[in-house]
A and B are shown apart, each in its own frame.
Chain A
């Protein structure tokens, strides 16, 4: 017997309050955790959430970290609203990074303006293509996209591993699996001297605006949502649920691919085996915590970046174990999903018999 029953009218206020409650509970349990590690919770929160914002370098690092998370989450949210669950943004990011690196490697030394735009476009196409494969599998064979997108991430990892070990390996790199370092024409320009934040952040800003307008104004966005949530209704209304699948997966692949290009043409500066610290997976949490809303995602992306950076800062300043980062991310999603469950459902208070009686009365 299920313990929960759906609420007839889930509160709109509570839907938006849920992430705040989740953040509050995460901080509360986090405080207990710090306390048990004999670290003052206030000092720990200061190191996690305030210290990084006290220097220009801290802001630069925060934006640099949040940017790919926000960009990927925008694409994912579009699909999630339509109940198309792309779990494989990590793989799409890697393929985007691979395609962008291909442009940089084959044009190495060419000091021309088109190298960087070419990398971004190649990254977008690569990511979109990696998203299109599960779309095709779903529309033709009804293959579950949660599985196919995730499995294609492993394929992307192996593809990357082969490329950096064999054809694209740096000949002067001591046989280590990584490409040459890219030259300046293949890198985003730094915005400020001495800080790592670069012009790729404008792509993310543009993406946020485009998605915001697209989601709130466009009929296609409405069709995508309906097509995913109620295929029969969509069909009746003349919308195509196939179109929903294709658009959701291709667009989320595209944003992840651009994020991949932004990493290799940004702070990493070469193609390496370990270029993403799991941005594709973290972006799933970012999308949910941001309520699948383009502006909400901006806030949750910044929060997630803070947790990443704070985890390292906690190690540097307080000698906290590195597992804290993962614990914070996990708690945040856990409490959010828990809060969401209670927004949409409530505990059954009466025995089913009484309910049936009431329903038939």
Chain B
């Protein structure tokens, strides 16, 4: 190591030791004053905050919640954390560094977070889209299928060929539910509409997402939806002159003509009360599943290509969902082999939706098993 760097590193070390010493003295003096300190909370992101989709939506929610809590909470984030053994190190590090609440925003963090939660019983752990829970470990998610249904209604109106396409990430209940809800929405307008699905086995890989979108377009799909995290599908649609939707966030700037509307997630409606409870010391783990009714998901950012009557229809459906008059998974519903899955007059329960593992009528192909 060059000597100037060595010298400065030694200096830095000395400085840090001094700082640590003075901090210890200060904290000994100011035990009572710590109540005014903001509570620290951290967010773990699967992608970059600039993905303009899933992670971006979480980050917008984080900032909004922090701002609205006015200094009670100080939040930080770690982005691009892979779902490898690294996730456990990052989550453990955040807990060890004094964060009182940690939010992990991808399914693959579940086992890592479960392990860390055991070693930090006083820290609040919240995991998005998972199913494991513990004494200090809760889950939260948005009813993204309600957004998918509303987009489906728009797709049913706008598709000329009646052929829709979805770029899927992984065939887990969440994503299959969204594909089905999209198809149910479209067929409520055009009963002949069908949906093709391509799985890309990743949440965030613009290259793969784009390839899948181009394949769907070449197979005749003229309206696309995606359950992945980047705006690549919207970009591909814009280039090829077909329609697409913003997913999780507004994607207008990646396809002003292509984007018919966006299903936007508002995570702050979950983050704000959770952080507030942590700051007040009243936090208890819960299993949150927030929807249109809670303001957690909404159809927004209608594009220039969307006629006013289509927009109006989509908003009417949204208001019906909000009022509890409409549930996308209301019978009679058949799977794509013709078997009845929800009887007439019944609606699928949350427990059933949580394990959803079937394509409804109109979705082509079979779920990869």
Interface size for B (C-beta < 8 A) is: 46
> Which of A20, A23, A272 contacts B108 (CB under 8 A)?
A272
B76, A316: Cβ atoms closer than 8 Å: yes
- Residue A216 lies at the interface, judged by CB distance under 8 Å to chain B: no
Residue of B nearest to A267 (CB): B85
B78, A315: Cβ atoms closer than 8 Å: yes
Q: Which of B2, B16, B93 has the most CB of A within 10 A?
A: B93
Chain A nearest Cβ from B287, distance in angstroms: 14
Chain B nearest Cβ from A339, distance in angstroms: 14
Contacts across chains A and B counted by CB atoms under 8 Å? 112
- CB within 8 Å of B: which A182-201 residues: 194, 196
Contact digits for A42-73, partner B, Cβ 8 Å, 1 yes 0 no:
11011001100001010001001000000000
Q: Which of B89, B90, B96 has the most CB of A within 10 A?
A: B89
Residue of A nearest to B96 (CB): A57
Chain A nearest Cβ from B318, distance in angstroms: 28
Residue of B nearest to A54 (CB): B16
Question: Residues of B contacting A161 with CB < 8 Å?
Answer: 201
Residue of A nearest to B176 (CB): A175
- Residue B295 lies at the interface, judged by CB distance under 8 Å to chain A: no
- CB within 8 Å of B: which A233-283 residues: 263, 266-270, 272-277
Residue of B nearest to A51 (CB): B16
Chain B nearest Cβ from A294, distance in angstroms: 22
Given A267-B88, A269-B111, A272-B108, decide whether A42 and B9 contact each other with a Cβ distance below 8 A: yes
A181, B111: Cβ atoms closer than 8 Å: yes
- Interchain CA distance A236-B78 in the complex, whole Å: 58
- Interchain CA distance A250-B349 in the complex, whole Å: 54
Residue of A nearest to B49 (CB): A321
A24, B111: Cβ atoms closer than 8 Å: no
- Residue B206 lies at the interface, judged by CB distance under 8 Å to chain A: no
- Interchain CA distance A323-B80 in the complex, whole Å: 9
- Residue B170 lies at the interface, judged by CB distance under 8 Å to chain A: yes
Question: Residues of A contacting B89 with CB < 8 Å?
Answer: 61, 196, 309, 312
Contact digits for B9-41, partner A, Cβ 8 Å, 1 yes 0 no:
101110110000000000000000000000000
- CB within 8 Å of A: which B74-125 residues: 76-86, 88-90, 92-94, 96-97, 107-108, 111, 119
B85, A46: Cβ atoms closer than 8 Å: no
Given A24-B1, A174-B172, A273-B201, decide whether A312 and B88 contact each other with a Cβ distance below 8 A: no
Question: Residues of B contacting A268 with CB < 8 Å?
Answer: 84-85
A24, B80: Cβ atoms closer than 8 Å: no
- Interchain CA distance A312-B92 in the complex, whole Å: 12
- CB within 8 Å of B: which A314-361 residues: 315-317, 319, 321-323
B92, A45: Cβ atoms closer than 8 Å: no
Question: Residues of B contacting A322 with CB < 8 Å?
Answer: 48, 78-81
Question: Residues of A contacting B79 with CB < 8 Å?
Answer: 315, 321-322
- Residue B42 lies at the interface, judged by CB distance under 8 Å to chain A: yes
- Interchain CA distance A312-B77 in the complex, whole Å: 11
Chain B nearest Cβ from A286, distance in angstroms: 17
- Residue A132 lies at the interface, judged by CB distance under 8 Å to chain B: no
Q: Which of A20, A43, A267, A321 has the most CB of B within 10 A?
A: A267
- Residue B285 lies at the interface, judged by CB distance under 8 Å to chain A: no
- Interchain CA distance A316-B171 in the complex, whole Å: 32
A-B pairs, top 7 by smallest CB distance, nearest first, are A267-B85, A322-B80, A42-B12, A315-B78, A24-B2, A274-B83, A175-B172
Question: Could you jot down 29 A-B contacts, CB within 8 Å?
Answer: A23-B1, A24-B2, A27-B1, A43-B12, A45-B12, A46-B9, A49-B9, A50-B12, A57-B96, A161-B201, A165-B171, A166-B368, A175-B171, A175-B357, A176-B108, A177-B170, A177-B201, A196-B85, A269-B111, A270-B111, A274-B83, A274-B108, A276-B84, A312-B81, A312-B86, A315-B77, A316-B76, A319-B77, A322-B80
